[in-house]
Structure 1
Amino acid sequence: MSDTKHHRRTQAERRAESRQAVLDSACRLFAANGYADTALEDIAIDCGLTIRPIYHYFGHKKGLFAAVNEVAEQRIIASMQAVAESNASPTGLAQWRAYLDLCDDPGFRQVVLIDSPNILGRERWNNSPVSVAVRSTLTSSELGNVAEQFRSTLLQAVVMGAFAEAALTIAAADDMAMARAEAEQLMEVLFSGVWSEC
């Protein structure tokens, strides 16, 4: 027999696998059922563990949800990076389309747009890696005075809020394709000046 068949997992490997199993189950169940309707016991059953490892790895339900939210945030960042790499001069509209592609996933909407602001707070979102990435695309030069810095912060909040609310409105529409097309036109009109300067 080969050495690989005799390889015994270390305790660290087993812990990493258990942690990942919990996180995978949590991503799936929080996305399907929402934060309020997902119990830690449900996650433990789904991943075939007891509830004890969940507390060990994540502390509490909110800590586990924060980890799930981070997974979703990494999807946003990866999507934005893909847009940047595939376009010589990516625009906010291109990033908006990539963002909407993610928001077509009901589970993503549930975690990022519905539950995250309520469970983790708006301040957490404002300081998230996604907001940092958006800030970098909306700030084209060094900011001078306090008023310019505030204007930049306000612009970021407006753009992020518009993206989130538009995505939720599109998701609730009877004709999502029509709603998305209309939203794209509106976003292009509203932010064309901003994006042309970025």
Structure 2
Amino acid sequence: NVPLFKNTIFLVSVMILVLIGLLYWFFGTELGCSIRATGGNDRMARAQGINTDFNRVLGLMVSNGLVALSGALLSQYQGFADINMGRGAIVIGLAAVIIGEAIFGKVFHNFGFRLLGVALGSIVYYLVLQVVIWLGVDTDLLKLLSAAVVAVFLAIPTWKGRYFKSAPKGGKS
């Protein structure tokens, strides 16, 4: 019987929650808010007196630091590092953001919960891939399949807006 503190899923969940907490705290500071403003609307942030060039570089530093942390944790968990370990990581990251926004975007309005939605989006992405593999789809087509999954989740907000419109408010009775 494995103790709880050695359970991989428990440790990763705790680390993700701690990381979300740290990011939520950082992006709530003045510097973090200026990074978010730069990402949201570069021209408006510059008009407000924010140094957008510095914020772009700082945003890249934070994101690359997170990538380095995840790569180090993966290497530590597996016990080795390989040049091909990060292949496809950008697709997985984009899929996590897109799926998290498509599924949890209307539910989570708080920035911290949106970060949690991205983490849950990555879990949904891997669950969809595992179900497809379990159904017997050829694993050589996995890259095509992952691109199709991302495309479907990109289209969900459009489909919601087009096919599931609610009745107009204040209309004729």
Fold match by TM threshold 0.5: no
Q: Which TM-score bucket, shorter chain as reference?
A: 0.3 to 0.5
Alignment TM-score, normalising by the size of structure 2: 0.34
Alignment TM-score, normalising by the size of structure 1: 0.31
